[in-house]
Structure 1
Amino acid sequence: MSETGKKKSVVDRVVDGIVSGIISGEFQPGSKLPTEVELCRQYEAGRNSVREAIKKLEANGVVYIKRADGTFVSETYNQKLLDPMLYQVILKKNSWKDFVQLRAVIEIGTLNVILENDPDEEKIRNLYEIQEKMEAALNEKEPDPNRIMETDTEFHAGIAALSDNPQIVTITEYITRLTVPSRLEAICKVIKKGEVSHFAELHREILEVISKREKDKIVQTVTDHYVYWNGEKL
């Protein structure tokens, strides 16, 4: 193996070791990492490899460096933490149907979480207001696909917010970013085919599941909801 290959392997091993230490609780958020010398000994790595690993973790928002004080585990959420995942998904050039399935799975899980808890009534009312905005946009003489997609994005973000789970909210935001092109294309086809009323009805059905706590209808309702996006109706 070349020196470059060895170096990369060691750097990744140090990165994985530190991340595993954070997950296991060995390194707590806000705590100071061991010194460079200690990390070299712990991961059987050279100083340059440890330095590269720390730079990588810093770039991804996992740790931050205080000059003269040391390296610390980030204690607050940083969007950079998920950026590598986003780029990895983009580079794999997944089929848009893969994203349909992924988003459906996440939404089914989110609705289950919402109904297992006691959803905030004010947030539910806010979802109905967003739904009204969407229907107004759909019923315009010449519907604007971008405006409809904005309200659709707001609608699904509102569902994620009902979970009161910041991780679900964040993942939903990322899936939304990745699926903009295919969702916009589906909305354009809905308008062209004159299916705007049914499109609005599918959103109302999700609201009914939430407001009536109809947990047994979650899977079918979400499956029906994606009928345009996965191309079954278009």
Structure 2
Amino acid sequence: MSENGKKRSVVDKVTDGIVSGIISGRFQPGSKLPTEVELCREYEAGRNSVREAVKKLEANGVVYIKRADGTFVSESYNQKLLDPMLYQIILRKNSWKDFVQLRAVIEIGTLNVILEKELEQKKIQKLYEIQEKMQIVLNEPKPDPDKIMEADTEFHTGIAELSENPQIVTITEYITRLTVPSRLEAIRKVIEKGEVEHFAELHRQILEVISKREKDKIVQTVTDHYVYWNGEKI
């Protein structure tokens, strides 16, 4: 049954079956899917339904078609894999505060992963360099919200990259795309209130947690970091 209580269509049945096969490892990345006839037999579906299901998966970047060779499971990350989820979230008109909570949870988890690792000093130094670039932008006579957000995005992406986990990096980039409007509005309020130095300090606190390996301060530091975006100081 689907979310709205209606019986799943045959196309959905085929689509879900193929995706489940990929998740279970039955269909490996780069491997060829069964033929159209075999898929029809397996899912008790007509050819039109199987073709429609494959088209949906191709549009979402899950599979790709080689003419005369067949249909293959994608072996590399494709932004199209996340786009359907992105649109679904947008259409649901989630509260921006839901995204604050989501990103905070992800960042807390990311910092915990990072502090479990032996980090190379040069990688931490790169994050300090990003923070210094942000400080320069913040110190301009008339700070540009777009430049600040660009620097902020680079900073948080840099944190995700310290995890050396491509899934964490991908999810961080995904949440970043979703939160652009609300983050930009928060940055504008920071500038209007003359709070740019405190904004910079909140980023320095995260760097301290990482460099000093202060695992016990992760939750509070991340909570403090979102004080503007969460609307508590605006």
TM-score (norm. length: structure 1): 0.95
> d(CA) in 2 for partners of 1:215 and 1:10?
50
* C-alpha contact 1:119 1:163 (8 A) present in aligned 2: no
What is the correspondence of 1:48-197 to structure 2 with a 5 Å cutoff? 48-197=48-197
Query: In the TM superposition, what is the alpha-carbon distance from 1:120 to its structure 2 partner?
Result: 3.4
> d(CA) in 2 for partners of 1:21 and 1:117?
33
> d(CA) in 1 for partners of 2:135 and 2:9?
54
Range moving further from structure 2, 21-30 or 140-149:
140-149
> d(CA) in 2 for partners of 1:149 and 1:86?
20
* C-alpha contact 1:206 1:221 (8 A) present in aligned 2: yes
* C-alpha contact 1:110 1:160 (8 A) present in aligned 2: yes
Letter in 1 for 2:21: G
> d(CA) in 2 for partners of 1:195 and 1:81?
38
What is the correspondence of 1:35-46 to structure 2 with a 5 Å cutoff? 35-46=35-46
* C-alpha contact 1:203 1:225 (8 A) present in aligned 2: yes
RMSD: 1.2
Cα displacement string for residues 161-199 of structure 1 (whole angstroms, at most 9, x for unaligned residues) = 111111111111111111111111111111111111111
> d(CA) in 2 for partners of 1:40 and 1:117?
48
The alignment partner of 1:71 has SS state of: strand
The alignment partner of 1:61 has SS state of: coil
Percent of residue pairs identical: 85
TM-score (norm. length: structure 2): 0.95
- Would you say how many aligned residue pairs link Structure 1 and Structure 2? 229
Query: In the TM superposition, what is the alpha-carbon distance from 1:76 to its structure 2 partner?
Result: 1.3
> d(CA) in 1 for partners of 2:119 and 2:47?
51
> d(CA) in 1 for partners of 2:184 and 2:26?
45
> d(CA) in 2 for partners of 1:196 and 1:231?
15
> d(CA) in 1 for partners of 2:185 and 2:167?
28
Segments ≥4 residues shifted beyond 6 Å: none
Cα displacement string for residues 29-71 of structure 1 (whole angstroms, at most 9, x for unaligned residues) = 1111111111111111111111100000011111111111111
> d(CA) in 1 for partners of 2:48 and 2:177?
36
Range moving further from structure 2, 103-112 or 117-126:
117-126
Query: In the TM superposition, what is the alpha-carbon distance from 1:121 to its structure 2 partner?
Result: 2.2
Letter in 2 for 1:99: F
Aligned to 1:209: 209
